[in-house]
Structure 1
Amino acid sequence: MRNWFISKVAYEKMLENGMQKRVVEPYLVDALSYTEAEARTIEELRPYITGEFTIADITRKKIAELFFNDNGDRFYEIKIYFITLDEKSGIEKKTAARFMVQASGLKEAISCFEENMKGTLADYTLAMVSETLIMDIFPFDADSVPKGKTDN
């Protein structure tokens, strides 16, 4: 099981009109602890950000699985409910799970999610799909990320 953290990075960004603006951008990082999440975020972003930057905030994020799509330029969070039947009481039980999907639009995110869930035997219902502000995702070992999805 992976541990995901959202690291918010604050820095001065050069806008298209030449002006500089202070921005805070979130990144999703796979790490064992808050300290490691901070270190990995700094390591990943140092080559891409000129000037000083700081880690403004780090929060833990529960994600069941990631689905990557080479055509996608945004990240969507999808919340589902797995539906199970309690054999003793006969009552339906719903268990929430959150997924991240890389896509270029809402319909593509849903389509990519459903394509990756085809082999799932469990019943589920789609509860929420929303675009996130996440700029990039840094899995612990990027070389181990297969095209299409990651394992968690």
Structure 2
Amino acid sequence: MSATWYECKVKYRKLDETGKQKVVTEPYLVDALSYTEAEKRINEEMKAFISEEFKITNITMANYAEIHPFENADRWFKSKISLLAYDEESGKERKTNFYLLIQANDVKEAFDNTIIIMKNTMGDFTIPTISESAIADVFPYFSGEEGDAEKLEQFNNLKNANLENDQWKENKDAALIDALEV
């Protein structure tokens, strides 16, 4: 079963770089079955991070086919992928577009990470656009069944890994495949 992602905008007070409190609205992504569950989950997640009052201002269904965290990365990028297929009847090339949310530090790294994700794709594809996303954090759903705790830990370790881990660069492909196997 594929995940359904909901983008939840949360408004709250936070300290800026100068130490002043300001009101911000940040988007977060949660994996849920419905809008109601998305609201419940974002409330639970935000209570753990925000001690003051916060308000959920909007919930929309996100159009991401897959979410891919990477170690040593702190920002999220939206990669548009176009799968190319040849229609033998009409003799024309067809494109099917979908979006991936990729964690990276910059656009070049997001491109490289997208290539890593797509390297085992059987068909031809192009990457027409990669843009930085405003997504502040991603909260995947784990049911609590056996093995889910380990998957959650792997997801969070990849998402929040230290920038000091140089060994990651050498073992990037193997670590990603191991952590994302479901």
TM band (smaller chain): over 0.9
User: Where does structure 2 lack aligned partners over 5 or more consecutive residues?
Assistant: 143-147, 155-174
Secondary structure of the structure 2 residue equivalent to 1:116: helix
Residue identity matched to 1:107: K
**Over aligned residues, Cα RMSD in angstroms?**
1.8
Give TM-score scaled by structure 2 length: 0.78
Give the AA of the match of 1:124.
Answer: F
> Aligned equivalents of 2:132 and 2:180: distance in 1?
19
Aligned 8 A contact 1:65 1:151 in 2: no
The alpha carbon displacement at 1:151 in A equals 7.0
* Contact map agreement 1:2 1:31 (CA 8 A) in 2: yes
Q: How many residue pairs were aligned?
A: 152
Counting only pairs closer than 5 Å after superposition, residues 63-142 of structure 1 correspond to structure 2 as: 63-141=64-142
Over the matched positions of the two proteins, sequence identity in percent amounts to: 41
Partner residue, 1:20 = 21
Distance in 1 between residues matched to 2:98 and 2:17, nearest whole Å: 39
Letter of the structure 1 residue corresponding to residue 68 of structure 2: F
| Rounded Cα–Cα distance in structure 2 between residues aligned with 1:46 and 1:88 | 55
Structure with higher strand content: 1
CA shift for structure 1 position 127: 1.1
Return the alpha-carbon distance in structure 2 between the equivalents of residues 118 and 80 of structure 1: 12
Cα distance in 2, alignment partners of residues 20 and 134 from structure 1: 21
Q: What's 1:31 paired with?
A: 32
- What secondary structure does 2:111 align onto? helix
Q: Secondary structure at the match of 1:47?
A: helix
Q: Which runs of 5+ in 1 are unaligned?
A: none
Deviation at 1:87, TM superposition (A): 2.1
Aligned partners of 1:150, 1:82: CA distance in 2, in Å? 22
Indicate the structure with greater helix content. 2
TM-score (norm 1): 0.92
1:50 Cα deviation (Å)? 1.6
CA contact (8 A) 1:31 1:37 kept: yes
Partner residue of 2:63?
62
